Amino acid sequence: MNMNIMDMMDRTQKGFERRLRTFQIVAMALLIVLVGRLWQLQVMRGDYFKSRSTANRIAVVPVSAPRGLMVDRNGEVLVTSRMAHTVSAMPQEFQDRQSEVELLSRLLGMTSEEIEAKIEGQTQGKYGVPYQPARLLEDAPAEIVMRISEHRVDLPGVIIEEEPYRSYPHGMLAGAIIGYVGQISQDELKQLGDRGYRGRDRIGKTGLEREFEEYLRGQDGITQIEVDSLSRPRGTVGFTEPVGGATLVLTIDARVQRAAEEALRSQLASLAAGKYKNARAGAAVAIDPRTGEILALASEPGYDPGWFVPKISEENWRRVSTGVSALFNRAVSGAYPPGSTFKPFTAMAALESGQVSLDERFLCTPSVSSRYFGKKCSAWSSGRTHGNQNLAQGMANSCNVVFYELGRRLTADQMAAMAKAFGLSYPTGLRYTPPESTGAVPDSATREFMPGERLSYAIGQQVTVTPLQMAAAYGGIAMRGSICTPHLVRQVVTPEGSVVAESEPELARSADLSKKTWDFLHASLTEVTRTGTAAWAFSGFPIPTAGKTGTAQSPPGDSHAWFAGWAPASDPEIVVAVLIEQGGGGGTAAAPVARAIMEAYFGSKLAGAEQSGGQAADEDSFPLD
């Protein structure tokens, strides 16, 4: 019994000790579980988690590169940058978001919803940069900057950034060439997202700003910042300096450009004040025909690219986009019937095909009208006739009867071929955005021409051309067949001064005509400004000029006024094409603008020439009779 109790006690004591040992085993088992997991995480997958922790803490913030400048051929700065203040928000740093946004809305004059929308748009989503401040008010006026600074204590997370802004020292000058810059759109991001654009970026929208975006943009730098779990920056880990955009050295001469714009503007004003109420738009192009360098390219009405900095106001947007649009570059994108400025091409086609001789005579009188399907010469309406004249006189007087007769003899294809030989209906090859219009030169492949239509073809009513094409084609006539590709950018130069791209004069096409034809054209077109339809506009202009006026009908509106020509007549340096929409007669409306452009081009040379009494270049004038 005693033994039994002892036995039992011994057994229970043994059981107790055995159970206590179990705990040691359980503890060891749990330790093994933890160590095993530790081994798995740290040793087996350590590299993976290292990269995860790096990705956690390193944020890459782009540093905007300053955009490249634009200067004219003489180094005159057309586009530069200025420092501006931007009120921005770093939402992670807000302490009391709601009350801060409310205070901001009072200081900035925006609604709280607008502010929240701006923050969301720039910091969230695919192209948002969460560590970069969100712009709330760009180019903030000084008094707002002051007010924000005064409330700095109440506005943690609101900062004032300094940013370079596009600046245009000459205002509207060359606006149509330069184009404008704006915040990148969602569509553009989709197209260009792979080139590193971000939701906050600005991008060239039109003109050279867009066409040469890749050069102007520069290369954004990168700041690698360490951020904490709330995306608050804690310090800079790495920095790559941004590379500033390259400078565009334009072929433009600011003086000539200014003259072109001012002459167009004042001409439009005086036309609209007088008989031509609808004369509200026009374009002018001046090219050095020897190289294709564009000296001036104007489109009216114009705009100041500065209106788009940092963002265009509603009022200015209405101003540029409604009615007669200022954003439409008429010199490049506007296609118009050339009217009588087409006549040289008709003459060339007739001469080269032997359909006319230089001493053949034509009678201009209303009685011949029946021969030409009842079509009239423009002189008749004022009770005059051109009488009996040769081809040169017909050109100088822009007599329609002479060219009806040529149109009767020629096929549409012959005239079209000559026009195309000078590049009409083709892009000139100008690098510009949006792409230039090509106009249209129809031939029998396009449609069949009735005999009457061939007559109007001969006087430029069946084709359309852009002012740029007209300037290039007349450059070809001036240079006796060599047509250079027009261009606006001479050089692209990096901020360090190395040239990354350069435009060499490039022969776009050449027209191979007989010397007799060239001589005839040069002489007869010089006569236009001496005694012909542009004589009034060029009276007293000391440099012999060759050119042609045009008055293109565009019913139901008034006629478009044209002038295209070059100077000096015998040694061409500048070719000018001027168009005034619904401006009436080419000689009275367009030619004076061309003269003003040439005056600006020749400048001081002109002053000297006037003193010496002028007109001396008469040697190679062609006998009119």
Among residues 19 and 195, whose Cβ is nearest to another protein? Answer: 19
* Cβ atoms of residues 196 and 65 within 8 Å: no
Question: Smallest distance from the beta carbon of 95 to another protein, in angstroms?
Answer: 12
Q: Does 57 bind another protein (CB under 8 A)?
A: yes
What lies within 8 Å, CB to CB, of 546 at 6+ separation is 478, 522, 525, 526, 528, 529, 565, 566, 567, 569
Q: Which stretch binds another protein (CB under 8 A): 14-22, 296-304, 492-500, 589-597?
A: 14-22
Does position 5 interact with another protein (CB under 8 A)? The reply is no
Is the CB of 228 or the CB of 359 nearer to another protein?
Answer: 228
Residue with tokens 């586009």: 79
Give least dist CB 120 to another protein, A: 17
**Residue 11 is a binding residue for another protein (CB under 8 A):** no
Which one of the spans 25-33, 304-312, 379-387, 493-501 is the region binding another protein (CB under 8 A)?
25-33
Identify whether 344 is preceded by a cis peptide bond (ω within 30 of 0). Answer: no
Residue 550 buriedness (CB in 10 A; 0-12 / 13-18 / 19+): buried
- What is the distance between the alpha carbons of residues 341 and 560, in angstroms, rounded to a whole number? 11
Does residue 60 belong to the site contacting another protein (CB under 8 A)? no
Instruction: Choose which of 7, 9, 11, 12 interacts with another protein (CB under 8 A).
Output: 12
Tokens 């219009």 belong to which residue? 437
- Least Å distance, CB 35 to another protein, is 6
Structure-token pair, residue 266: 């004042």
290: nearest Cα among 499, 438, 492, 504: 504
Of these, 7, 10, 42, 447, which contacts another protein (CB under 8 A)?
42
**Minimum CB distance to another protein, residue 212 (Å):** 42
The distance of closest approach from Cβ of residue 45 to another protein in the complex, given in angstroms and rounded to an integer, is 6
Least distance to another protein, CB of residue 237, Å: 11
- Per CB under 8 A, which region of 29-37, 157-165, 168-176, 178-186 contacts another protein? 29-37
Q: With beta carbons less than 8 A apart as the criterion, state whether 566 and 588 touch.
A: no
Q: In terms of DSSP bridges, do strands 482-484 and 361-364 run parallel, antiparallel, or are they unpaired?
A: unpaired
Binders in 435-494 for another protein, by CB under 8 A: none
- CA 349, CA 21: separation in Å to the nearest integer? 116
Cα angle 17-20-25, degrees, rounded to a multiple of 5: 125
Closest-CA residue to 476 (of 435, 510, 523, 450): 510
Question: Per rule CB under 8 A, is residue 31 in the interface with another protein?
Answer: yes
Place of tokens 């009188």: 365
**Burial level of 103, CB count in 10 A (0-12/13-18/19+)?**
middle
* SS3 state of residue 270: helix
Residue with smaller CB distance to another protein, 8 or 273: 8
Among 1, 2, 47, 75, binds another protein (CB under 8 A): 47
- Asked if 28 interacts with another protein (CB under 8 A), we say yes
Please tell me whether residue 507 binds another protein under the rule CB under 8 A.
Answer: no
**Which DSSP symbol is given to 537?**
T
Q: How near is the Cβ of 56 to another protein at its closest, in Å?
A: 5
Give residue 292's region: left, alpha or beta (phi > 0; psi -120 to 50). Answer: left
9/507 with CB nearer another protein? 9
Nearer residue to another protein within complex by CB, 12 or 191:
12
Stretch 75-104 residues interacting with another protein (CB under 8 A):
none
Q: Are 329 and 176 in contact (CB under 8 A)?
A: yes
Question: CB 16 → another protein: shortest distance, Å?
Answer: 7
Residue 22 as a binder of another protein (CB under 8 A): the answer is yes
Tokens of 554: 């565009």
Our finding on whether 49 is near another protein (CB under 8 A) is yes
Comparing CB distances to another protein, the nearer of 1 and 230 is 230
Per CB under 8 A, does 30 bind another protein?
A: yes
Touching another protein, residues 197-256 (CB under 8 A): 226-230, 234
Residue 19 engages another protein in binding (rule: CB under 8 A): yes
Residue 52: burial class (beta carbons within 10 Å; 0-12, 13-18, 19+): exposed
Interface region with another protein, contact rule CB under 8 A, candidates 30-38, 342-350, 403-411, 441-449: 30-38
- Asked if residue 35 binds another protein (CB under 8 A), the reply is yes
Per CB under 8 A, the segment of 12-20, 115-123, 504-512, 578-586 that binds another protein is 12-20
Q: How many residues bind another protein (CB under 8 A)?
A: 40
Q: How near is the Cβ of 51 to another protein at its closest, in Å?
A: 8
Give the amino acid at 56: N
Q: Does 23 bind another protein (CB under 8 A)?
A: yes
Q: For the residues of 189-244, what is the DSSP string, one character each?
A: HHHHGGGT--TT-EEE-SHHHHHTHHHHS-B-EEEEEEE-TT--EEEEEEEE--BP
Q: Which of these segments, 19-27, 165-173, 513-521, 600-608, binds another protein (CB under 8 A)?
A: 19-27
Q: Segment contacting another protein (CB under 8 A): 24-32, 74-82, 258-266, 562-570?
A: 24-32
Residue ranges of the alpha helices (H) in 387-440? 391-397, 400-409, 412-421
In 3D space, the residue among 504, 500, 503 whose CA is nearest the CA of residue 244 turns out to be 500
Which residue in 41, 269, 450, 501 binds another protein (CB under 8 A)?
A: 41
- Of 50, 126, 318, 516, which one interacts with another protein (CB under 8 A)? 50
Q: Is 15 in the site for another protein (CB under 8 A)?
A: yes
Q: Per rule CB under 8 A, is residue 17 in the interface with another protein?
A: yes
Return contacts of 42-49, CB within 8 angstroms, 24+ apart.
none
Q: Are 120 and 91 in contact (CB under 8 A)?
A: no
The encoded tokens of residue 135 equal 């712009």
Q: Which of 7, 10, 56, 624 binds another protein (CB under 8 A)?
A: 56
Whole-angstrom CA distances from 91 to 30, 86, 117, 156 are 45, 16, 12, 9
Taking CB under 8 A as the criterion, the residue among 1, 3, 20, 153 binding another protein is 20
Specify the stretch interacting with another protein by CB under 8 A; choose among 28-36, 147-155, 156-164, 394-402.
Answer: 28-36
Question: Which residues lie near another protein (CB under 8 A)?
Answer: 12, 15-17, 19-24, 26-28, 30-31, 33-35, 37-39, 41-43, 45-50, 52-53, 56-57, 226-230, 234
